[in-house]
Amino acid sequence: MNNKLLAKTVQDYINANLNADVNQIALAKSIFEGITPGELATQIAAKKKSEKKLPTWFNTENIYYPPLLSIEQTSSEVTAQYKSKLVKGDTLIDITGGFGVDAYYFSKKLKAVTHCEINSELSEIAKHNAKLLKVSNLEFKAEDGIAYLLNNDIHFDTIYVDPARRAEKGKVFMLKDCTPDIVINLNSLLEKSDRIIVKTAPLLDISAGLQELNYVSEIHIVSVKNECKELLWIIDKGFNGDTKIVAVTLNADLEKTFSFNFPATPGAVAFIDNLAIGDYLYEPDAALLKSGAFNLIRTTYHLKKLHPQTQLFTSTEINVDFPGRIFKIEAILTTGTLKKQENLKGNVIVRNYPAKPEDLVKKYKIKADQNQFLIFTKLGNGENTIIKASIIQYY
């Protein structure tokens, strides 16, 4: 950690160049003694990345930023705040502390939080920033979190861990492919706490994860603005029962949840006979889609499905409690009628349709429009259809 970066003249330069080309800055000559161009570029890029993701840090003076990768991998403030609701007791240890965003929000809920980070410089950065953020109940340990737990006679009410994937192996991965290995260390960790919260990427298959882990009481699927951000696995010592799945959508000050016991009861499938102008089209949020409870979504919100392989639903009524987008159908089109129309406008959505959005935009000369949508999809009878619709609800 280079403290010279905290000088007022340097901080003023960083703030004045947030929209500059960091590659040019990194390749230019050094303009501050004891500071390399690369260090300057790193601070600028990381702070710029934090503007929307970490506004508390961005708006606090003299925050020191780690390499950009650490900012990209850290939780956003929105998801960290949600995680803080899942803790148990008064004390917590974050054994993969990183930049310290999760630990900061845990400290707002608990009496004492310990932040363990094996990277000593990152630990120092997190500690420096915590002082600026006026956190007094957060202790920092620059060491391996699991080793710290196992080598000390200490008990925490909650353990939090965000394991990193050791290597990219395509879209499929398992918890045993991550560091630290929670699977092999689970029993040892449960001797140190009654609750463990494990954060994973949304790519992790829920069924596969449940095969690797014991005592999973809940799995929270968290999305922000229709993008699935993370899975939170709640492990409670001695738990023996059905795992509760909670699909959570976080958007501004609006939070919606949809929960059920895994696996979801399939239930009867009801398909529409005919689409009608004036009806409402429902598209589940990314968190609901990850949950796989497609038929349960239909029955809960009294919807009918368009097609077995299309996660689009319809109803004659609007239900704003639905977690996802809602459109009002304005027209039902065919490719023939589409060709005859001029000045076509709309955001193109493709769901179970034999074409790519960009190809359809080019073919039919469709101009972008913020509120109008052209949804290319398939009906239950196998026919391709195009739905012209206006957006009623985004989340």
Which pLDDT does position 174 carry in this prediction?
84
**H helix runs in the chain, sequence order:** 8-16, 22-27, 37-53, 55-58, 68-73, 77-83, 101-107, 120-132, 145-150, 182-190, 206-212, 286-291, 294-300, 335-340, 357-364
3-state secondary structure string, 18-46? CCCCHHHHHHCCCCECCECHHHHHHHHHH
pLDDT at 295: 86
Location of structure tokens 């992790």: 204
Length of the chain: 395
In the chain, where the domains are located? 3-71, 74-261, 280-393
Strand pairing report for 158-161 and 195-200: parallel
Q: Which residues lie across from 221 on neighbouring strands?
A: 231, 247
Residue 167 has pLDDT above 70, yes or no: no
Of the candidates 102, 113, 36, the residue with the CA atom closest to the CA atom of residue 70: 102
Query: Average pLDDT, stretch 373-386?
Result: 93
Average pLDDT over every residue of 19-42? 95
Half-sphere exposure of 350 (CA within 13 A, CB side): 9
Count other Cβ atoms within 10 Å, centred on residue 237: 15
Pairing relationship of beta strands 227-236 and 216-224 according to DSSP bridges? antiparallel
What would the pLDDT profile of 299-326 be if each residue is shown by its tens digit?
A: 999 999 999 889 999 999 999 999 999 9
Q: Which pLDDT score is estimated for 294? A: 86
Rounded to an integer, what distance in angstroms lies between the CA atom of residue 112 and that of residue 156?
10
Architecture of domain 3-71: Orthogonal Bundle (1.10)
d(Cα 196, Cα 193) in Å, to the nearest integer? 7
Quickly state the pLDDT bin for 120 (edges 50, 70, 90): very high
What is the 3 state secondary structure string of 204-266?
A: CCHHHHHHHCCCEEEEEEEEECCEEEEEEEEEECCCCCCCEEEEEEEECCEEEEEEEECCCCC
Q: Compute the distance between CA of residue 181 and CA of residue 167 in angstroms, rounded to an integer.
A: 13
Residues above pLDDT 90, as percent of the chain: 85
Residue 190 CA from chain centroid, whole number: 26
Provide the pLDDT for residue 76: 96
CA-based R_g, the chain, Å:
25
Per residue in 182-223, pLDDT (tens digit) is 999 999 999 999 999 999 999 999 999 999 999 999 999 999
Mean pLDDT on 146-169 = 88
State which fold the 74-261 domain adopts: Rossmann fold (3.40.50)
Instruction: Give residue 234's pLDDT band: very low, low, confident or very high (50, 70, 90).
Output: very high
The tokens describing 101, both together, are 């965003």
* CA pair distance 262, 287, nearest whole angstrom: 15
Please report where in the chains the tokens 């391996």 appear, as a residue: 144
Cβ-Cβ contacts under 8 Å for 27 (sequence gap 6 or more): 37
Residue 6, Cα to own-chain centre: how many angstroms? 31
Per the CB < 8 A criterion, the answer to whether 206 and 231 are in contact is yes
- Asked if residue 225 has pLDDT above 60, the reply is yes
pTM: 0.93
